[in-house]
Amino acid sequence: MIEPPPDFLCCELSAEMNEPMMGTAVTANVWFMLEYTRPWGAKATEENELPGDVFKWLSDQVSAVNGRLQFIRQFRPDADVLTFFVGVNDENAPRLYEFHLSDYEDLLELDVTAVIAGDGRFAPHLVTGERYFVCTNGKRDRSCAVYGAALYRALAEKVGAAVWQTTHLGGHRFAGTLLSLPDGVCYGRLTPNDTTQLLANSQRGNLWLEKLRGRTCYGSLVQIADFYLRQETGQKRLDAFRLVEIVEMGDGRWQVTFQSKDNHTHQVTIMTAAPLPIYANSGQLKPKESPQYELVNVVRSA
C-alpha cells in the first residue's frame, strides 16, 4: 500500500482505489433531522449549545428507537422558524414528517412515539416528495467541505429548499455523500454533474446502483445482498423486494432471502473476501482494514 501525501483527501484516494461503496451506509430505524443554526464542530450532534433538557430529550428519543440525529441547515437569515424532520425508515412504507418550531423547547411537546406509530393527528405534517441531505461538515473531514459543499450548491439550483446541508453521514471517504428521505437511501461519490441523473432516479422511485451505498433501513450485509440482487436482476425499483431473513451459514457465508412483488423468493449468498486497506480520514496516515464481501450466487424460486 502506497503512503499518500500528507495533505490528501480520503475521498479522492478511495475513488482512485475504486473502493466498493455497497454496504457502507449507516443504519437507522428513525432519522431525526434538526435545524441547528450555530457553527458545527467535528462532533456537532454531541457537542453543541442546545438547551440541556432539549439535548437530553433528543438523546432519549434517538436511543429508544435505534435512531440517528443529524443537524441540518440552509442559511436562511430571514427564517422565523426552525425545521425538524422525523423520517420513519420503514422498508415498505417510509414516511417523512416536517415540523416547524418557534424554539428548540417546542420539541418537548412533540409526541414522537405517536408520530413514528403513524398517528393520524400528524398526517398534515407528512412530506410529499423527496428531501435531500448532503454532508457538508468540513470540521469532521475536509472531503465534505470540498465535495459536499459543491454538491449541495448544485442541487440547490435544481430543487431549492428540498435540499439541506447536514452533519456527518458516515463514510466521508465517499464524499459527496447524500441521504434521501423518506426513501432512506444513501449515495456516495456524487458530483455536481451527477445531479440530473440522481434526481431522475429518485423521482422515478429507482435506485442508482452506480452511486449506491445502501438502503439505511438495512444492516451492512443486507445492503450488500440487496445490491447484488439488483445487479443480477436489473431491478432498480426501490420497492421491488422486501427482506425475509438473513441466515449465517458459517465459513464466512450468509444467505439473505428477499421476496419480490410477484411473490418469488430470491436467495442471495455472499461470503467474506480479503479486507481492503484504506485511509478513512483525510490527512491521517493511519490505514485500517475495510471488510469486503463477494457474491456467491443468487437463486430465484420457480
> Which of 2-6, 87-91, 173-177, 245-249 has the least mean pLDDT?
2-6
Q: Is residue 233 part of a domain?
A: no
Specify the CATH number for the domain of residue 133.
3.40.30.10
For range 240-246, the mean pLDDT: 97
Q: Is residue 273 part of a domain?
A: no
pTM: 0.96
Read off the C-alpha cell for 146: 470540498
Q: Any alpha helices (H) in the chain, and if so which ranges?
A: 10-17, 52-64, 112-117, 142-143, 149-159, 195-204, 220-233
Q: Is residue 118 part of a domain?
A: yes
What is the domain count for the chain?
Answer: 1
Domain residue limits at 105: 1-218
Q: Output the pLDDT for position 284.
A: 87
Q: Is the pLDDT of residue 15 over 80?
A: yes
Q: Residue 169 corresponds to which amino acid?
A: L
70-122 tens-digit pLDDT: 999 998 877 889 999 999 999 999 999 999 999 999 999 999 999 999 999 99
Phi, psi of 97 (to 5 degrees): -110, 145
Q: Is residue 296 part of a domain?
A: no
Percent of the chain clearing pLDDT 90 (strictly above): 92
Q: Tell me the C-alpha distance between 299 and 302, whole Å.
A: 9
The strand order across the sheet containing 185-187 reads: 95-101, 82-88, 30-35, 68-73, 163-166, 131-135, 178-181, 185-187, 212-215
Expressed in percent and rounded to 5, the helix, strand and coil fractions of the chain are: 30, 30, 40
Q: Output the pLDDT for position 75.
A: 83
For range 147-152, the mean pLDDT: 96
